[in-house]
Structure 1
C-alpha cells in the first residue's frame, strides 16, 4: 500500500530527493513548490520502499496501512492531486505523465574555489539552520551564529503549537546541525545591542541575516490599546515559554474570545484555548500557561475572516488536523457557503471547501455541545475594538460581500460581537535592521536571490534568508530551498571575488 504525507509535512523536500521513483511532488524545481500547502505522494507510482520515511525530518510520511484514524483523510488528499487533469500549482500531473517525469536533481556541491571562509549568521531559526547546513557542506567554511535568546531554533521552538509534536521534531535535525565542529552558536548576543552590523562585517568574510519577521502586522482600527487586546503571536509566545513573554498575562475568564484572522496561527490559538488542558500536560506547553488554561472560563472562540471561506488563509492540512484530532465542537454557518464554488483546477481549494461544508452539516450530542466550541465566521472586517473603561468588551465588524475574484466590499451592515479577549492574527512583519536597507511596506530586506541590495547596488558580503528575505510565507521546510538559493548566490560571489569583504581582523 502506498505511503502518505500527513499534516506534519514541513515542506523541506528531503523526501523528494530520497524517492527513487519521483512520486513526490511538487519538487523544488516545479512552479507549484513555493505555494503548495504540503507535498503529495502519487499512490499509483509509489513503490512502498520507505526511503522517504527516513528522509522526513518531522515523521510526516506514513505507510498507508498504518494511518491513524485521524490521518485517513490524507490518503484521499494525496491521491486527489494526481487524478486526471489535477494540478500542483501551475503544472498538470496526469498519472501517466507523472511516471515519466525526471527525478528531482540533487545538488552535490564541489569544493569552494576560495580560501578559508568565516561566515556569520544572525539568528538561529529554521532559515539560519538550513543555511548553516548548506554552508557546512563546504570544508573550508566555519560559522559563528549569533542568537539573542538563550535557546536556539527560533519559531521551530517558540512558534509551533506545543501539541504539534511531530512538527516540533524538526529540532532534532537542527540539533544535529548545531553539533557540527565548524559551527559555533553564541546565545544571548543581540546584534544592535552587543555589536553592530558593521562590526560583524569587519569580523567575517560574509554575513547572513536570518532574523525572521519579528513583529505583527498592525490591525489598524481604534481600540487596540485596550486591556484584553493582544497579538495572537504574543499568546503563542506565552504558552510556548518564549522569554520575551515570560511576564505576559492573559485573562481567560470570559466566555468568548475573538481571533481576527484565520490563518494557521489563528487555528492553533483557537485549538489551544478550547482544548482539554489534561491533554496538554504531556506537551512542552509552559507550565504557567497550563495552570491558567485549567482555570479558563472560555466557552467559545470565534475565528473571523474579512473575506469568504474560499479565501481563508488556513491550510487544508491544518483544517484537517483541527477537525479530526481535537475535542472542540466546530461550527460553520451554512449560509457562509451558499454560492461559494472552488476553482475547478485547484484540488486543494476543492478539498478545503468540501471539508467546511461537512463541518457546516454536522450535528452534535448534548455532551459535545457542552465542550468549548470553535466558530468560523467569514465576510466580517473589524471596524473597531469595543471597550468599556479601557477594557475590551467586543468587536464591531462591518459585513462584506465577497465577489468571485475574492474582493471584499462593505455592505453597510454592522455586527457587534461581545468578547472578553480579542486576538489579532493578521500576519507577521519584518523589522528594520540598523545598518541595512529595509522595505517598510513589504517588511523585508531588499535582495536579489539573497544578495542584500541598496537600490540597485549590492551590499558586499551581506546576504539574507528566511522571512526577512521573502516575507512571512511558507512553512518551516520552505526555508531549506530559500537558504540554498542565498548560499548559492554567496558562493558565486566568492568564486568571482565580488562578494568578499575587507575584514578588519
Structure 2
C-alpha cells in the first residue's frame, strides 16, 4: 500500500488526492490530506466572497472527495515548524505533495504604504471570510468615507463590491458577525477601483465586472476620457483582436459611459491609466489619500508615466496587486518566482528531482489561473508520483502516521471534527436569525471541533 500525505486541502490538494485514489495503475493508494487549519477547502472557504454562493458551492464537490474512504482529512496540523518538519513528514509517508498556495500579498513599494488604514486586499478578504488568523485584525470603517482599491483583478472587484454592498444583503451570507457589524456601521460613500493600465488589460472576468452595476443603491461609473486612451477601446479592429473575455469587458465598460450618475447613491468609480506613486497621510498618521501618476500606453503592452499627477481622497486603501509564494522550511524555494523548483511536479534540489517530494497548485506554478486550473496541474503532479510508485513503495513506514502526529504533541482535527464545526456554525446562525455563520477565531473552531 502506498501512503501519501497531501499538505493543503484547497482545490489543488483535493484534486491531487482524488487523482491518486481514483487511478487504476497503482492499486491501494491511501492519502492523508493535512491542513494547518481545522477546516478544509482552502481559499474556497477563506478566499471566495461570501456573496458568491455559486462559487462557494464548489465545497460540495470537494467534500465528496474528502469523504472517500481512501482519503483521511487531518486538520490543525502545521507542517514546517519544529513539531513537524518536512523531513519528519517524509519519514511517515512514502511521498508528500505540497499544495500550500501563495500566502503573501505583493507590496506596492511606494512611500506611505505603512500608514494606518493601508491594508492588503488579502487581509481584508481573510477578515470578512472569518479566517482565524485574521480574527484580531478588525477594520474600523465607521470613519471611512472614501476607499481606494488598487488593482484590476477579481479580488479587487470582490473587495470593491463588499465595501459598497448594503448590510441587509450581506446578512444573508455566512459572513462572521464582527465583519458584518463593521460593514453595517461603515460610512463609505465612494469606492474607487484603480488600474495602472487600460480597460482591455483588466484581469477581472466579465461576470464579476457586471455584478458591480447590479448592486442595490450603488452607482457604478467610468470616465470616458480614460477609456478612450486604450487603443483597443477606440479602435474596433483592435477590440476584435482581443481575447473574448477582454473584449466583453470593453463592451461592458462602453455601455457604462452612457449611465447618468445618481448623486444620492453610494458610488463605485472604475479608474484607468493611473499608477500609484505615494500614499498620503494626515497629521494623525492615518492615510488621507493616494497620489497617482497618469499613464499612457507605451505601444508594447505596458504603460509609462506622463508626468501629470492626481490625488484621490481615501481613508482606507486596499492593495490587490497579486500574491507571492512563501518559503516552507525544508523545501527549496525560488525567490524570484515565488515557487518551489520542480520538474512536472517533482521537487528539484540542486537541479535534481527528489523522488518522494512533489508540489501542485500555486506553490508549483505561481498564482495564476482560476480554480479549475488546479485540476490539470494536480493531475500532472500525481502522474509523476505514480510513475515513481515502484521506488517509493520499497521503503517501510513506521506505522500509522496519525499515531506519530499525536505522539509529537499535535492534536489533529479529523473529518468528524470538521462536521462538528459545520454543525456549530449552523447553530450559531440560527441563534442570530441568520443562515450558517462562520466561527472566526481559533479557540471557537477548536472548541467546536471537540464538541465543547
**Interval containing the TM-score (normalised by the shorter chain):** 0.7 to 0.9
Coordinate RMSD, CA, aligned: 1.6
Counterpart for residue 378 of structure 1 = 272
Counterpart for residue 330 of structure 1 = 220
Which 4+ residue blocks in structure 1 deviate beyond 6 angstroms? Answer: none
Change (3 A) 1:376 1:502: same
Alignment map for 1:264-283 (pairs within 5 Å): 264-283=154-173
Q: Hey, what's the Cα distance between the residues in 2 that align with 1:206 and 1:501?
A: 12
**2:345 matches 1:456:** no
Change (3 A) 1:202 1:179: same
RCO higher in 1 or 2 (8 Å CA, sep ≥ 6)?
Answer: 2
Shift of 1:500: 5.8
Q: Is the 8 A contact 1:122 1:209 kept in 2?
A: yes
Alignment map for 1:11-30 (pairs within 5 Å): none
Alignment map for 1:55-454 (pairs within 5 Å): 116-138=1-23, 139-193=27-81, 194-252=83-141, 253-324=143-214, 327-340=217-230, 341=232, 342-345=238-241, 346-364=243-261, 366=262, 369-388=263-282, 389-454=284-349
Secondary structure of 1:184 counterpart: strand
Shift of 1:326: 5.6
Identify unmatched segments of 5+ residues in structure 2.
233-237, 399-452
Shift of 1:465: 0.5
Shift of 1:413: 0.9
Secondary structure of 1:267 counterpart: helix
Q: Is the 8 A contact 2:287 2:316 kept in 1?
A: yes
CA-to-partner distance for each residue in 1:357-407, whole Å, 9 max, x for gaps? 11122124x4xx322211111111111111123211111111111134321
Change (3 A) 1:393 1:500: farther
Identify unmatched segments of 5+ residues in structure 1.
1-115
Shift of 1:501: 7.7
Q: Hey, what's the Cα distance between the residues in 2 that align with 1:416 and 1:118?
A: 58
Shift of 1:338: 1.3
Structure with the higher helix share, 1 or 2: 2
Change (3 A) 1:181 1:260: same
Q: Is the 8 A contact 2:80 2:330 kept in 1?
A: no
Q: Is the 8 A contact 1:233 1:425 kept in 2?
A: yes
Change (3 A) 1:489 1:223: same
Q: TM-score, normalised on structure 1?
A: 0.74
Change (3 A) 1:419 1:117: same
Shift of 1:467: 0.7
CA-to-partner distance for each residue in 1:149-171, whole Å, 9 max, x for gaps? 12111100000000000100010
Counterpart for residue 19 of structure 1 = none
Secondary structure of 1:462 counterpart: strand
Q: Hey, what's the Cα distance between the residues in 1 that align with 2:100 and 2:366?
A: 12
Q: Hey, what's the Cα distance between the residues in 2 that align with 1:440 and 1:500?
A: 33
Shift of 1:455: 3.5
Q: Hey, what's the Cα distance between the residues in 1 that align with 2:168 and 2:200?
A: 34
CA-to-partner distance for each residue in 1:284-340, whole Å, 9 max, x for gaps? 111111111111100011001111111112122211233346652111100012153
The number of equivalent residue pairs is 385
Q: Hey, what's the Cα distance between the residues in 1 that align with 2:165 and 2:304?
A: 35
Q: Hey, what's the Cα distance between the residues in 2 that align with 1:177 and 1:326?
A: 38
Shift of 1:504: 5.6
Shift of 1:420: 0.4
Q: Hey, what's the Cα distance between the residues in 2 that align with 1:329 and 1:404?
A: 33
Q: Hey, what's the Cα distance between the residues in 2 that align with 1:219 and 1:434?
A: 26
CA-to-partner distance for each residue in 1:455-499, whole Å, 9 max, x for gaps? 42112211101111111111112111111111011111224x3x5
Q: Hey, what's the Cα distance between the residues in 2 that align with 1:303 and 1:136?
A: 44
Secondary structure of 1:259 counterpart: strand
